[in-house]
Each structure stands twice: as C-alpha cells, then as structure tokens.
A = this chain, B = another copy of it.
Amino acid sequence: MLRFIGVVESVKEELSRVRIFDEFAAGLQGLDTFSHLIILYWFHRREDEESRRVLKVTPRRHPGAPEVGVFASRSPSRPNPIGFAVTERVKREGTILWVKGLDAVEGSPILDIKPYLPRADAFPEAVVPEWTLRGPKT
C-alpha cells in the first residue's frame, strides 16, 4: 500500500542527507523555490505489531509529562508509524537533498515530501500543555 520514495542516508548533528530514488526524481522539480519542506517518513524500527498496538505513552524525554494517548504525543509507537517533520531545505544536488530538522534516524524510508506553506501550516500562537515545552522540540 505504501511506497518508499527515498531514504535517510546520513544524519550529522542537525543535517540530514536524503536520497530520493531515481524513479521519483521528476517529482522534485520546483522544490528549491521553497525554504521549508514537510517530510513524512516511516518509523521502520516501530513497524512491529507490539509498537503499533501502543495507545498510551509517558513521554520520558519531557520531564513531568503525564501519561497521554499516542495521538496527543509525537511518539514513534503508534498505529501507523508515520513520522512528520518540518525541515529547512539546505541544498539539493539532483536526487540528494540536505535538510535541517529531520528527526529521523539513518535508514528511515521516506514516504512523501510536501512544500511548507506558512499560510496553511504556521500557527505560532497554538496552545500546548506545559510539558511539551520542556526537553526536545518534539
């Protein structure tokens, strides 16, 4: 049902190198006119049945976080292990794309890239609970 369109080849500090498979190269035209890209990827280390049955988590990287439902968390353990990140486009050389802010581990399959549209996607005043502000961004 899902197709992998690419892979995270390497991660060095904040910078990730993504390779898009040649058969999807035509889909990249015009990508360089956007400063930020939404990347959907596959949490391949959590595709086992046990991880996909998790419905409640206690986000341990966020001190003081309560137990919450997976849909109120960014946990990789969830019914559909799809990762989401807004990334900064740094550079592209053909099908090799460098981005900042992609929180996917090396080897993660890429599912989709979408342009980030601030008119639709940026809500700087969105309200969040206190625990999300402690620890990492996601």
Q: Which A residues fall within an 8 A CB radius of B?
A: 1-3, 5, 20, 24, 26-31, 33-36, 38, 40, 52, 55-56, 66-74, 78-80, 82, 84-86, 101, 111-129, 132-133, 137-138
In the complex with contacts A55-B26, A124-B122, A126-B35, A40-B82 CB distance below 8 A: yes
CB contact between A114 and one of B36, B84, B112 (< 8 Å): that residue = B84
Is the pair A86, B120 in contact by a Cβ cutoff of 8 Å? yes
Given contacts A5-B80, A56-B26, whether A31 and B69 have CB atoms under 8 Å apart is yes
Which residues from B are CB-within-8-Å of A117?
A: 74, 126, 128, 132, 137-138
5 A-B pairs whose Cβ atoms sit less than 8 Å apart in the complex: A20-B71, A72-B115, A86-B121, A118-B128, A124-B124
Contacting pair A124 B128 (CB below 8 A): no
State how many copies of this chain the complex holds.
Answer: 2
Q: Which of B26, B33, B72 meets A129, CB within 8 Å?
A: B33
